Amino acid sequence: TVAFMVHATIKNKKYLVGSETTTPQVNQQDKTQVTPQDKILEFCKIPRSKNEIVAYMGYKDPRYFTKEYMKPLLKNGELVMTIPDKPNSKNQKYVTKK
């Protein structure tokens, strides 16, 4: 058998937004960052239950998730209920408004 060793040096650079040290790559990443709301709206192009959405987004507490993400999207009209006259129905699903 042959033994070998690898040596690597990794340099950490800090980038300050709005300063001369900012690179175009960092600025481009800032512009194209996907928000949780964007992910929810993309996922809900087909009707999904709240539990499906919560699991997809990786949250464990549906109450917090509902308050922070679902209610604002519903209020803005970006997300709609499939059974609006029965908001607490066990068959309730949510879909991105077309």
Residue 65 belongs to domain with CATH number: 1.10.10
> Domain containing 84: what range?
34-96
In the chain, alpha helices (H): 24-31, 36-43, 50-57, 62-65, 71-76
The greatest distance separating any two alpha carbons of the chain, rounded to the nearest whole angstrom, comes to 72
Taking a C-beta distance cutoff of 8 angstroms, is the pair 49, 92 a contact? yes
Sign of CA dihedral 78, 84, 86, 92: negative
pLDDT of residue 20: 52
The pTM of this model reads: 0.66
Over residues 32-59, the pLDDT tens digits come to 788 999 999 999 999 999 999 999 999 9
Question: Does the residue 7 lie in any domain?
Answer: no
- Number of domains making up the chain: 1
Question: Does the residue 8 lie in any domain?
Answer: no
Question: Does the residue 88 lie in any domain?
Answer: yes
Taking a C-beta distance cutoff of 8 angstroms, is the pair 37, 73 a contact? yes
Over residues 2-38, the pLDDT tens digits come to 777 777 676 766 655 555 544 555 555 556 788 999 9
Question: Does the residue 25 lie in any domain?
Answer: no
